[in-house]
Structure 1
Amino acid sequence: MEEWIQLAGDQGAAVALAFFLVYRMERKLDTLIWTVQRQSEQLFSSSRNAKPPKNSMHIKKP
């Protein structure tokens, strides 16, 4: 019985550390995802508002 208590105590610390590290990593990933989405939205909105250059090879609609 003492062996089981010892094993649970040893593994409990490792499990707690693993959950803590996963939680920290998840927060950082959420921040990274938010930043990438924000940058892509800004890039998309700025590309929609940009005017094509005067000497472009675009075909003009009649």
Structure 2
Amino acid sequence: MGYAGSKVDKTEPLALCKERRKVIKQAIDSRYNLAAAHVSYINSLKNIGVALRRFAAAEV
């Protein structure tokens, strides 16, 4: 029985509810994407540090 089978899909409150649900889902997905980007950035910084250390050790 949920809203999917309902014939009152054209009512304003139901349309607002569906829109809010969609926006909240997009916000959650964006949050996960941002967290993944931060992890990737931190890993890149770590790899650059390792590369710089190797470069400096080769010079000495």
Q: In which range does the TM-score fall when normalised by the shorter chain?
A: 0.7 to 0.9
TM-score (norm 2): 0.75
Displacement after TM superposition at 1:14 (Å): 0.3
Of 17, 24, 44 in structure 1, the residue corresponding to residue 25 of structure 2 is 17
Which protein shows a greater Rg?
1
Of 21, 37, 40 in structure 2, the residue corresponding to residue 32 of structure 1 is 40
**Identity over aligned residues, as a percent?**
4
Distance in 2 of aligned mates of 1:11 and 1:51: 60
Distance in 2 of aligned mates of 1:51 and 1:17: 51
TM-score (norm 1): 0.72
* Runs of 4+ with deviation above 6 angstroms: none
